[in-house]
A and B are shown apart, each in its own frame.
Chain A
Amino acid sequence: MSEFIETKGLKKIYHVGGQKVEALKGVDLEIAKGDFVVFMGHSGSGKTTLVSTIGGLTRPTEGTVLIEGNDIWKLNDKQLSHFRNRKIGFMFQSFSLLPTLNVLNNVVMPAIFSTNSERKDTEALKSKAISLLTDLDMKRKVNSFPSELSGGEQRRVAIARALINDPEIILADEPTGELDIRTEREVIDIFCQINKTYQKTLIVVSHSLTWLEKAKTIIVMKDGLIFKDLADPVEAIMEGVCKS
């Protein structure tokens, strides 16, 4: 039986102005269902690249990404889009909301790309979005536009959107990057909740130590490779590979 998420010999080479940048140098990785993984490591160590190869956003130069045993990079554009739509909820550091849509529509947005019959039931979808937003304490803002929200509020909307299609995996690349510590804690708590109550597999990239306390698994990256699996976050800090 293969793991829920598995990468084998994952390599990624970027070509920048005639130069090769080896962002991933052969990553072998396994992530179990329901895990809460935090990736740490220096800037440029390949975290974003690794996470986005897993999420179907960046095509690896070599190697495979298996999700429930299926090689996602063998899918065509349509199938891969469907995979992103159904299986993964993404959260990015900054830009994650469409300025033309209000909060409710931003949350519902992935549904308009889903080829599923579910999307036809707009009412059900809307009430689901509202219940998610209520859980995230954002009910008052359903009709606001992104420009009217604070950073923390925007993050909550992005979380709600990541959850709307009920994906099994949540991928978040520095989701609390620009937030102050208090807001960051709030967002992290929400993630823990998601992990516990919805049994979602969480994969988070962050420089911040606050995540370490909550993570089930910590993976440190260095120069395009997994440095070590560190059970003890303190050890990670001692290793000095985490930026604080």
Chain B
Amino acid sequence: MELIVLAIKDIFRRKGKSLYLLIAIVIPVAILSTILLTFDNADSSLSTLASKFGFTLIVQPKNIRVDKISQIGVNTQEYIPEGVIADVERIVRETIRNPKDKVITVVRFYQEDDLLIGKAKVSSVVAGIDFKTELEAKPSWKLTSGRWPENDQEAVLGGSYASSRKVSLQDTVTLGGSEFKVAGILQNYNSSEDYMVFAPFAVIQKLYNKSGFVSVINIQNVSLDKDKKMLQTAVAEINKNIPNIMALSPQQFSTMKYALLKKSLKFLMAIVVATIAVSIFSIFNIVTSVLYSRIKEIGLLKSVGASRSQLLTIFLSEYLSIGLMGGLIGYPLGLIMTYLLDSLLLKLGAGIKINILYVLVALLVGVFCSLIASFYPTYRLSKIKITDSFRSQWEG
């Protein structure tokens, strides 16, 4: 039998109190893990989003709030005059100074509208695009069924859109009073495009009385992709010379969106610190009361030869194990909370990932709370005089 055995037996003897201690540790650990994991998800989902986007530079209307849009470039409120396109292209070419280097410009027009599928009205985002240039810029864009549109009254649906609305090839959907036949259905790319309806650019622009306006201008260019400094120059030049638009690189977009999350980080961390403080306070109280109820036991252990350091070993290993257990339970709880938070609120597309570093953080925080709070009462009681400990029991 070892000292640790005594400790473990005590944990199980005082199940109620141990459980209480465990909860006091699990709560801050779970909250901290949730925050860490959520930030992690935000980080990775934004950077995959940026890399998935496939464009070097985008130009969007100036006054859209980054936090209000789910994906870079996709907004249905503000528009840019078509004249800007030529200006943007000119600045890009001036920046790269290599006439052989190909610059692909892809413009899109977005509109939010109720779509008629049969008799059902479905609120949808409609994208007017030029299929040819779009495919030139994104050769990886694939259909799972059907073909690309061959005339002005054909449309392509995002994969999730088609499956959730149960729309099939050759069905007819009605946009702004005009009928379109579903020519093809896109693969899912885990982006907002999965939920969009795509139709020919000019037709859509006219349909919504927005001739001469676009929602976003995307530029694809290899030189700018390779040279981050040159890209920055291009972005800065466009922003300087063209009013009412905002040029940015997808990378910048992620950083901007992330910055918003970061702003709330301080506040969230304050919450974590507060819960840790509350946790330490409650653990301190529980441990103190438990130890006082164990005074007689402490006296007995000392009388049979337990030294102060051995007593500290017994009690601290008891609280150490509870701290570790708290970390081990708190982390998966944090994972579940992250998942719920994401699927109900944030929609960053979080998956359940085990992050070893965060598991360690969870364990450390659990142990920290438990040991910090229990050290003082344990230390004080290990110094109690043996005869006092017996008397205290006899006297009540």
Residues of A participating in the B interface, judged by any CB pair closer than 8 Å: 48-49, 52, 55, 57-59, 77-78, 81-86, 90, 92, 94-96, 98-101, 105, 108-114, 122, 161, 165
Contact = CB atoms under 8 A, between A and B. Distances in A.
B343 interface: no
B394 A94 contact: yes
Contact of A112 (B6, B390, B394): B6
A33 to B, nearest CB: 21
Contacts of A59: 385
Nearest to A122: B1
Interface of B: 1-3, 6, 9-10, 12-13, 296-297, 300-310, 385-387, 390, 393-394
A35 B305 CA distance: 23
Contacts of B301: 113
Contacts of B302: 57, 81, 84
Contact of B386 (A57, A99, A112): A57
Given A112-B2, A122-B1, A52 B305 contact: no
- B303, B306, B390, most chain A CB atoms within 10 A: B303
A12 B29 CA distance: 50
Contacts of A82: 305, 307
Given A58-B386, A113-B310, A98 B297 contact: yes
Contact of B3 (A95, A96, A112): A112
Nearest to A79: B307
Contacts of B10: 100
Contacts of B3: 112
Given A58-B386, A77-B309, 20 more contacts: A52-B387, A55-B303, A57-B385, A57-B386, A58-B385, A85-B305, A92-B303, A92-B390, A95-B297, A96-B300, A98-B6, A105-B1, A108-B1, A110-B305, A111-B1, A112-B6, A113-B301, A114-B305, A122-B1, A165-B305
Contact of B387 (A48, A110, A112): A48
A81 B310 contact: yes
Given A81-B310, A101-B9, A49 B304 contact: no
Contact of A81 (B1, B6, B306): B306
A78 B307 contact: yes
27 contacts: A48-B387, A57-B303, A57-B385, A58-B385, A58-B387, A77-B307, A77-B308, A78-B307, A81-B302, A81-B306, A81-B308, A81-B310, A84-B303, A95-B300, A96-B300, A98-B297, A100-B12, A101-B6, A105-B1, A112-B2, A113-B304, A113-B306, A113-B307, A114-B305, A122-B1, A161-B304, A165-B305
Given A57-B387, A100-B13, A101-B9, A86 B393 contact: no
B315 to A, nearest CB: 14
Question: Which secondary structure characterizes the binding site on chain B?
Answer: helix
A111 B305 CA distance: 9
Contacts of B297: 95, 98
A122 B309 CA distance: 22
Nearest to B296: A95
B304 A90 contact: yes
A165 B305 CA distance: 11
Contacts of B13: 99-100
B305 A86 contact: yes
A108 B304 CA distance: 11
A82 B300 CA distance: 14
A54 to B, nearest CB: 12
B13 to A, nearest CB: 5
A94 B6 CA distance: 21
B387 to A, nearest CB: 5
7 tightest A-B CB contacts, nearest first = A85-B305, A81-B307, A100-B9, A110-B304, A57-B386, A113-B305, A84-B305
A155 to B, nearest CB: 14
B309 A78 contact: yes
Nearest to A99: B13
A81 B390 contact: no
A82 B3 CA distance: 16
B298 to A, nearest CB: 11
Given A57-B386, A100-B9, A109 B304 contact: yes
Nearest to A100: B9
B390 A95 contact: yes
B77 to A, nearest CB: 68
Contacts of A49: 387
B210 to A, nearest CB: 79
B387 A84 contact: no
A95 B303 contact: no
Most buried by B among A48, A85, A95, A111: A95
A112 B1 contact: yes
Nearest to A76: B307
Contacts of B386: 52, 57-58
Contacts of A98: 6, 297, 300
A161 B300 CA distance: 12
A100 B6 contact: yes
B305 A81 contact: yes
B384 to A, nearest CB: 11
A237 to B, nearest CB: 27
A113 B306 CA distance: 5
Contacts of B2: 112
Interface centre among A86, A96, A114 (most CB of B within 10 A): A96
